[in-house]
Amino acid sequence: MNEKDRLLEQLKQFEMFVKSRIENEGFPIVQDDKSGDPIWIDMREVTLRYLISVKGIDRFFRGLRGGKVMATYCKVCDITYFPPQKDCPSCLTDNVEWKEIENEGFLLTFTVVFVRPYSFMHHSPYTVGIARFGDITITAWVRGDPKSLRPGQKVKLEVVKREPEGYLTYELVPV
């Protein structure tokens, strides 16, 4: 059983316990583990899942489908934007072009995330790095054993399928 399944199992048992408290005591009130203080368990639950528009950066996703990681570029101001953005705040226009990122980079820094957020708990601890590619810098997961990594390490960008979610994203791969 992975960490997430264990947590879900605990939550399920807790849910049953709350139910029994309501039946026996008349309220969803339990005792705090440590202090013993009475705690009301919220009866209203929501799932947060946002609807995020990507119309302005649609080209980015088409690029990923073709195996490319793209940035936007304002040729008036000579500024490359990554994450890509559809507007250039410098000349106040939206005349940005799409360009492929120069795929030779080096790692600036990295970390290994051991204590994961709830929505990433089904993954094993993962390495996140920030790497420079030409005039832009990119945050992404780093493939391979983090023990051999150090700032300055050469990396390239690779489009990968994020499993088990199954969608396309990009990863830093040590060269």
- Residues binding another protein (CB under 8 A): 7, 32, 34-35, 37, 39, 42, 52, 82-83, 108-121, 123, 126, 128, 130, 136-141, 146, 150-152, 162, 169
Can you list the positions of beta strands (E) in the chain?
Answer: 29-31, 38-40, 70-74, 79-81, 97-100, 105-113, 126-133, 136-142, 154-162, 167-174
Which of 18, 108 has the CB closer to another protein?
108
- Residue type for position 148: S
**Residue 11 half-sphere exposure toward CB, CA atoms < 13 A:** 7
Tokens standing for 81? 């934007």
CB 153 to another protein: min, Å: 10
CB 58 to another protein: min, Å: 14
Question: At residue 3, what are phi and psi to the nearest 5 degrees?
Answer: -55, -40
CB 26 to another protein: min, Å: 20
Which of 23, 25 has the CB closer to another protein?
25
Tokens standing for 49? 């899942």
Which of 88, 136 has the CB closer to another protein?
136
CB 83 to another protein: min, Å: 4
Q: d(Cα 83, Cα 133) in Å, to the nearest integer?
A: 13
CB 89 to another protein: min, Å: 12
Q: Are strands 167-174 and 136-142 parallel, antiparallel or unpaired?
A: parallel
Which of 68, 123 has the CB closer to another protein?
123
Which of 23, 113 has the CB closer to another protein?
113
